Structure 1
């Protein structure tokens, strides 16, 4: 007597696994979320938690030298506005505008020259990038020696040419300290502007320049009618990025002047550092840093809006 073979479990209509196994499968959305969990955890631990903790600290009176803190509400913010906030904002804007406009103009002039395809343009392009690759602290010490009142190269050159009769304390006088800081930052920043603008210039078709020249347009007319419209988007993004970076710049100012003399070069970055790590007033420093962050958020919002418009 023969026995019938066992009946195998039939798969579902699609030929895949059974319905019970399919129900236990992880959804695509859950799988994608699990992939992002490590990055979100790292972001929360490194960025989000310190940011929230620092914003909360602005409502407390806290001294770095002693444990504990006490709630003071908006008193720290009131002290910031009643203190040197307006002067610090003014110094920050003066430095930011000067250290953004000067590198842009120098970078634009060099980019226009290099874009002509002159002989040795590759060599000069590499040479002009040299200040950009030097660390900021090294640049600051280099220019500190140049601006030195006793043996600085700048004073020696100006005296020999007869432009000045006696040495100038460039970093020790309120009237010249900010200028010296802006010159130093300009020397370190113009190569980046040059690279950005040169890349934009190389996207402008040469046929447009040739057609404008045939129509009788001069060099200045061709620049405003052909060149500038072609690089306007790149120039706007480069200017705004440089403005944001300079608005939060620290090392050049701190190494050269430390915010002095008499607070003439004290920007937000330097003031927050001085309050927190020299004045030990963490609550006041955090309140000032919170207001500084709000201003930066406005600038970042403008940059994102401009970037979005340029990509459309």
Structure 2
């Protein structure tokens, strides 16, 4: 009996503080959640206004026959999608061609320059800074610069060809030359950041592996193929996928240099959507094309995220 009486106060001391402490933790947690919600609320509202509302509005507009010239609109359901589907598929091919070529060439050039700059060259730091300059320029400036270079009448390219006795070429005046011109301009603008990514990965490669391969008699090409390339292939693949997504929605390069011409040879989805909305003033059809374009971009972005997740697990 005496032992039980002595143990009771200790039991109360152990159990009594638990309630108030638990209550305080719960109260502080609720306050923290409320404070966090209030901090995030302006950003959430801004995102809803800038991104979600235009998206929902575009989906709604795609179901109407609506023009910029008149305030009235008529509900037509999915007729706009049916009307522009052929145009969408035709421009999709041009878009894929441009996006693929404007991704492959910057990746090849960027990786090649990264390997070169990773070697022990005199003045390589100056070269790194110089080669970064194209990436620092706005896309519109780069487009005007290359449009001036390839101009048929007073372009720098034809002037140089004339000086060395070669015939002039019409880059922007024929379909093949126009596509080549916009791909060259986009390659020149994009390769520096791919070069930087590849170079940063190469510099994390343990020097002991390269030294061991050199001692074993491996050539430079063999060292790159069996040591450097497997080390950079993951990051470069992610950068290439991201670059493809950027190029898939590129507008300024093609619009400034060719306007989608000659004919429709360089008319991508972005240019076609602009022409529908602000050339033909058909907002309903332009919105329908934008929705289809968004679905396709969502699929490509999902593939990018899946690739990123798989590479992170390695």
- Determine if the TM-score, normalized by the shorter chain, exceeds 0.5: yes
Distance 1:42 1:278 in 2: 30
> Per-residue deviation at 1:280?
0.5
Give ranges in structure 2 of 5+ residues lacking alignment.
Answer: 1-14
Check conservation: 1:204, 1:230, Cα contact below 8 A: yes
| 1:133 aligned residue | 136
For residue 266 of structure 1, give the secondary structure of its aligned residue in structure 2. Answer: coil
1:49 deviation in Å? 1.1
User: Is the 1:248–1:269 contact (alpha carbons within 8 Å) kept by the matching residues of 2?
Assistant: yes
Asked if residue 249 in structure 1 is aligned to residue 253 in structure 2, the reply is no
Q: Deviations over 1:200-242 (max 9, x none)?
A: 1111111111111222221222111100111111111110111
1:120 and 2:123 correspond? yes
Label 1:14 to 1:187 Cα distance change in 2 as closer, same or farther (>3 A).
Answer: same
Match of 1:307 in 2: 308
More helix per residue: 1 or 2?
2
Q: Does 1:73 align with 2:77?
A: yes
Cα distance in 2 for residues equivalent to 1:170 and 1:264: 13
- Mapped contact 1:272–1:285 kept (Cα < 8 A): yes
In the alignment, the residues of structure 2 paired with residue 229 and residue 22 of structure 1 have an alpha-carbon distance, to the nearest angstrom, of 51
TM-score, with normalisation over the residues of structure 2? 0.88
Q: Identify the match of residue 58 of structure 1 among 31, 53, 62.
A: 62
SS of 1:280's partner is coil
Quick check: 1:203–1:230 contact (8 Å CA) kept in 2? no
- Contact 1:76–1:283 at 8 Å: present in 2 too? yes
Residue 91 (structure 1) aligns with: 94
Residue 148 in 1 paired to residue 151 in 2? Answer: yes
The separation in 1 between residues aligned to 2:199 and 2:301, in whole angstroms, is 24
Query: How far off is 1:29 after superposition?
Result: 4.1
Question: Which range moves more in the overlay, 184-193 or 36-45?
Answer: 36-45
Among 101, 104, 119, the residue aligned to 1:101:
104
Which blocks of at least 5 consecutive residues in structure 1 are unaligned? 1-11
Does 2:199 match 1:186?
no
Using structure 1 for the length normalisation, give the TM-score. Answer: 0.89
